[in-house]
Amino acid sequence: MKDHSQYDVVVIGAGPSGSAVARDIAAHGFNVLLVEEHQQVGLPTHCAGLITPRTLELADLRADGFVQNELTGAIIHSHSGLEASIEGDRVHALAIDRGRFDAALAERAIESGARLLLHTRASGFERRDGLIRVHLKNERRHETVETRLLVGADGARSGVAQWAGLPGPDEVVYGVNARVHLDQRASHLVEVFLCRDLAPAWFGWIIPLGDGQARLGIGTTQGSAARCLKKLVAAFPSRFQNLKILEVSGGVIPLGLPERIHTDNLMLVGDAACQVKPTSGGGVYTGLLGARSCAQTAVRALEEDDLSAESLGRYHASWIEDMGEELQTGALLRKIFMRLGDGDFDTLLSLLRKQPLARILSRYGDIDHPSHLVTPLARMLPNLRVLLSMAALVTDREELVDDVFAPVSSSR
Ligand SMILES: Cc1cc2nc3c(=O)[nH]c(=O)nc-3n(C[C@H](O)[C@H](O)[C@H](O)COP(=O)(O)OP(=O)(O)OC[C@H]3O[C@@H](n4cnc5c(N)ncnc54)[C@H](O)[C@@H]3O)c2cc1C
């Protein structure tokens, strides 16, 4: 007689990545348990909620109910007060209500047949007879469930990754995000603040939501993000003169491209696997892409009854095929960004104020695939190649520069 509930798959974490994996595996008739430590899916949220329309398609959700604003471009500020606007001619990004978005995805997982266990925390696991025993606890009791496959979708500070001995991020960015009342500059433009000492190694943002509300946030690799936010507000007094903070939350952005995101009977997905864009910290799109590969591999491995690391390795291979080069180019762009100072940001903004560059950004800019911008920019700014080459030397990734510039050279 079995003394534990048994599942084909247990997914830890009902963020977008975990719910998408649970939905797609359950849709194939497998017995899936989705475990979430909070009382409600999607809350509290730490996210600025900026995604591309492409992400909604990938999530297979209709926009109803959670799209709050459509954004076509950006205003970029530097510390010296210089600014440049990039007015796009199409919707580049959507501001979404992340709580509702996550709830809608979890709802789809339930509709597909997954069981959702709320207010329950996974506290560890052990291996027995080719299966994984996951320890769960809630306010009332401790429980152990048995599974053929464990999916760690438990976010940037993944316990599953640690318990499995899988590598964590190379670098983390501490972020803070506030819902605020703020005078509106332009309802369809995101504002970005590039200030080396106010947002060390990252940037600040305002995402307009309409009705005088916005999301205001900042990231940093050093010290307290909340302190950085206060300094940002103080440094731009006229922009923030009528600021009223309604709600603040914080979180961690994990960066890196771990060599292993799976082992026997176990896979990591989303932030737990560092599936995050190094240029923006956005992880909803990349997490959903990871979830798609993860679920496809899981279904095949369950059907073949082979949950070995070798069989699950197809997941890593397909994730790298989808996003490996993009993330490596993103890491290179981040290296360049880290080398720029406030004077360089001023130079960049002066260039952006000249129409051709702004036009290229508007035309090719894609927050999911910043690499699409590199080739047209390199045509226009030959110095960019020098910068990229320097960064490639620093990162030991010289071949990447050739990959990026091959199309430029061949078209000359
Ligand atoms: C300040 C900030 C702003 C951001 N802004 C954006 C943005 O604008 N656009 C964008 O695309 N991305 C943004 N991100 C990143 C984005 O939030 C993440 O990449 C995304 O949430 C990852 O989804 P996920 O499903 O992998 O993990 P998460 O959304 O973190 O979900 C993990 C879930 O696991 C649960 N969990 C954790 N441990 C356990 C456990 N032991 N037992 C049970 N449950 C557990 C958590 O409660 C959580 O619900 C931002 C991040 C930060 C910090």
Is residue 290 in contact with ligand 1, taking CB distance under 6 Å? no
Residues 263 and 282 placed together within one structural domain of the fold: yes
AA letter at 113: G
Separation between Cα atoms, residue 267 and residue 123, nearest integer Å? 17
Query: Which tokens hold the place of 55?
Result: 């992400």
Domain boundary among 323, 354, 371: 323
Residue 212 has pLDDT above 80, yes or no: yes
Q: Is the CB of 13 under 6 A from ligand 1?
A: yes
Average pLDDT over residues 387-392: 56
In this structure, the answer to whether residues 90 and 175 fall within a common structural domain is yes
Q: Which of 201, 235, 254 is the C-terminal boundary of a domain?
A: 254
Do 264 and 394 reside in the same domain of the chain?
no
Residue 409's pLDDT band (cuts 50, 70, 90): very low
Both tokens assigned to 214: 């916005």
**Is the domain of 305 the same as that of 335?**
no
Rounded-to-integer distance, Cα 404 and Cα 376, Å: 10
Q: Give the mean pLDDT of 91-120.
A: 96
Looking at the fold, whether 272 and 143 belong to one and the same domain comes out as yes
**How far is it, in rounded angstroms, from Cα 265 to Cα 260?**
13
Q: Is 175 in the pocket of ligand 1 (CB under 6 A)?
A: yes
Whether the per-residue pLDDT at 73 is higher than 60: the answer is yes
The H or E element spanning position 22 is helix 16-26
- If you average pLDDT over residues 301-321, what whole number do you get? 97
Contact 38, 119 (CB under 8 A): yes
Helices (H) and strands (E) in the chain, counts: 12, 18
| β-pairing verdict for 244-255 and 171-181 | antiparallel
In this structure, the number of other CB atoms found within 10 A of the CB of residue 384 comes to 17
One domain, residues 220 and 354: no
**Distance of CA 346 from the midpoint of ligand 1 (Å):** 33
271 within ligand 1 shell (Cβ under 6 A): yes
Q: Per-residue pLDDT averaged across 26-34, rounded? A: 98
| Ligand 1 neighbour 251 (Cβ under 6 A) | yes
User: Has residue 339 been placed in a domain?
Assistant: yes
Give nearest CA residue, ligand 1 atom 19: 283
Write the CATH number for 185: 3.30.9.10
Instruction: Report the residue among 10, 34, 47 best suited for mutation to probe ligand 1: largest number of ligand atoms under 8 A from its CB.
Output: 47
| Distance from Cα 188 to the centre of ligand 1, integer Å | 25
* Model pLDDT, residue 335: 85
Domains identified in the chain, total number: 3
The atom of ligand 1 lying closest to the CA of 290 is: 26
Each residue's pLDDT tens digit, 157-183: 999 999 999 999 999 999 999 999 999
Could you tell me the distance, in angstroms and rounded to a whole number, from the CA of residue 81 to the centre of ligand 1? 33
- Ligand 1 and 51: CB distance under 6 A: yes
237-265 residues labelled b (16+ CB within 10 A) or e (exposed): eebbeebeeeebebbbbbbbbbeebbbeb
Least confident of 100-109, 124-133, 271-280, 374-383: 374-383
pLDDT for residue 12: 98
Q: Is there a single domain that holds both residue 311 and residue 363?
A: no
Give the closest residue (by CA) to ligand 1 atom 38.
154
Q: Is the CB of 314 under 6 A from ligand 1?
A: no
Testing ligand 1's pocket by substitution, the residue of 105, 271, 274, 277 carrying the most ligand atoms inside 8 A of its CB is 271
| Four-point Cα dihedral 229, 231, 236, 237, nearest 10 | 100
Q: CATH code at 123?
A: 3.50.50.60
Q: What is the domain extent for residue 352? A: 328-410
Instruction: Return the minimum-mean-pLDDT range out of 26-30, 296-300, 327-331, 369-373.
Output: 369-373
263: in domain: yes
169 lines ligand 1 (CB under 6 A): no
How many CB atoms are located within 10 Å of the residue 155 CB?
Answer: 24
Quick one: 29 and 104 in the same domain? yes
pLDDT class of 143 with cuts at 50, 70, 90: very high
- Does any domain span residue 239? yes
Q: Which amino acid is at 177?
A: N
Residue that is last in its domain, among 298, 323, 348: 323
* Same domain membership, residue 240 and residue 197: yes
Query: Is the pLDDT score of 411 beyond 50?
Result: no
* 276 Cα nearest atom in ligand 1: 19
281 lines ligand 1 (CB under 6 A): yes
- 363 and 227 both lie in a single domain: no
Query: What is the pLDDT at residue 412?
Result: 36
Residues linked to residue 173 through DSSP beta bridges, in sequence order = 253
pLDDT in tens, 319-370: 999 999 899 888 888 988 888 889 888 988 887 887 666 676 777 777 788 7
Beta strands in 19-155 (DSSP E): 32-35, 50-51, 67-71, 73-78, 83-86, 93-96, 115-117, 121-128, 131-137, 142-152
Residues 161 and 106 in one domain: yes
In a domain, 59, yes or no: no
* CB 134 near ligand 1, within 6 Å: no
Q: Are residues 156 and 175 in the same domain?
A: no
Domain assignment present for 63: no
64: in domain = no
Work out the pLDDT band at 240, boundaries 50, 70, 90: very high
Judge whether residue 406 has pLDDT over 70.
no
Which three-class secondary structure state does DSSP give residue 398?
A: helix
The whole-angstrom separation of Cα 206 and Cα 216 is: 5
pLDDT score at 392: 56
* Position 58 in a domain: no
CA contacts within 13 A on the Cβ side of 165: 3
Distance 372 CA to ligand 1 centre (A): 26
| Contact status, residue 11 vs residue 142, Cβ threshold 8 Å | no
- Residue 161, in any domain of the structure: yes
